[in-house]
Amino acid sequence: MSTTPTETRAGRHSLFGWSLAALLREWSARVDAAADDLPQGTRGYQLLTAVVHGNLPSQAALAASLGIDRTVMTYLLDAFEDCGLVERQRDPADRRARRIVATDRGQEVLAAMDARVTAAEEELLAGLEPAQRVLLRELLERAATGTGPDDDPCRTVVQAIKPA
Amino acid sequence: MSTTPTETRAGRHSLFGWSLAALLREWSARVDAAADDLPQGTRGYQLLTAVVHGNLPSQAALAASLGIDRTVMTYLLDAFEDCGLVERQRDPADRRARRIVATDRGQEVLAAMDARVTAAEEELLAGLEPAQRVLLRELLERAATGTGPDDDPCRTVVQAIKPA
DNA sequence: GGCAGATCGTCTGTCTAGCAGACGATATTA
DNA sequence: TAATATCGTCTGCTAGACAGACGATCTGCC
């Protein structure tokens, strides 16, 4: 009753952004804690996911989709290659570009991470009923993918990550 | 059909975290763009909000509630004081501590920011129906505040920011 | 009261991540 | 072939974050 749809949120002080930031911080902390095998913690997990499921054609595309500078991507991938999680392959169609593929070990590590992250998320959302969690995920996804017609770097990210 | 509620999220690769990160990135970018008057962009907005509505007793409490190192808080507040948004006052009860209060100008700036942030949020959530936005906000807030019985730095943040 | 330890805010030094710019290699276009 | 753009890498610089030390002050104990 305190938040009827018609209420204009007077004095709410943008709790939306706060909740978002707090949740992401917690999520990131938990993913970090679960990412012993990965360099760069949460970002490494995001990178590996993008490599495996993103189907990005080049290192530059990978960097753009994650919002990372290309020079940063270089040494980030160096670390991943050193760990044997990822390989750089020359693109035969464009010999300047490198196609990033996950090794078998990289795929295993990602699968393990996915499981741990899923568990961590369930724990993170312990305050919500199961149906509410599903709803929250759906709303978040829709909000993240359909953020309007104008400039929208996020949609590319999410779409790049999505299987299709 | 790809995301029916009953689907057990096989192969979903933790879109939750992605949506969260993407949304927060967009939110933060928009707040940054709207924060011409504030130092430190989004973080400055968070800080000023905590100062005005947080009722935190000391600089250290402020830093803790925002997850910022106390040495960082020092020069962060320096910038805010230089801009005339905030004042450091000695706490008469504990002369070591400084009580941070917003100036009139700080309150005005925050009010203007609140309005702009609200507008930016509406734009950010343009892909959702009004009722869905309300629902998303509620779910987010509940998830952020009730994240479980164990370690939980976020709850303190959100609770510190909340008026009550 | 006097003393030891803890806490507050500040300052200093150090370390790291990120970015601009340049570079060779390669592709594209004229 | 020549001119221009793009890809990935490397170099150097800068800003931000953290550990540690410091004076001032509070608290608890003798």
Extents of the domains making up chain B:
39-145+152-161
Which residue of A3, A8, A12, A18 to mutate against B (max B Cβ within 10 Å)?
A: A18
Q: What is the pLDDT of residues A81-136, one digit of tens each?
A: 999 999 999 999 999 999 999 999 999 999 999 999 999 999 999 999 999 999 99
The strand pairing partners of B76, in sequence order, are: none
- Encoding tokens for residue B65? 């509630």
What's the CA–C1' distance between B128 and D17, in Å? 38
CATH 1.10.10.10 fits A39-144+154-161, yes or no: yes
CB-based contact, B159 to chain A, within 8 Å = no
- Given this model, what pLDDT does residue B14 score? 65
The mean predicted confidence, pLDDT, of chain B is: 82
| Strand pairing category for A86-91 and A94-102 | antiparallel
Residue at minimal CA–C1' distance from D19?
B71
CB-based contact, B10 to chain A, within 8 Å = no
- Given this model, what pLDDT does residue A29 score? 86
Tell me the average pLDDT across B8-33: 74
> Which one of B20, B114, B142 has the shortest CB-CB distance to A20?
B20
Contacts of A144 (CB under 8 A, 6+ apart): A154, A155, A158, B18, B19, B22, B23, B26
Q: What is the pLDDT of residues B51-104, one digit of tens each?
A: 999 999 999 999 999 989 999 999 999 999 999 999 999 999 999 999 999 999
CB-based contact, B160 to chain A, within 8 Å = no
What's the CA–C1' distance between A100 and D7, in Å? 13
Q: Kindly provide the residue ranges of all beta strands, DSSP E only, lying in chain A, ordered along the sequence.
A: 86-91, 94-102
CATH code for the structural domain at B39-145+152-161: 1.10.10.10
Give the pLDDT band of residue A145 (cuts 50, 70, 90). confident
- Nearest alpha-carbon partner for A46 in A117, A144, A151: A117
- Given this model, what pLDDT does residue B22 score? 81
d(CA B43, CA B68): 10
- Given this model, what pLDDT does residue B81 score? 96
- Taking each helix axis from N to C terminus, what angle separates A15-34 and B15-34, rounded to the nearest 10 degrees? 130
d(CA B152, CA B164): 19
- Secondary structure element (H or E) that encloses residue B101, with its range: strand B94-102
CB-based contact, A119 to chain B, within 8 Å = no
SS3 A4: coil
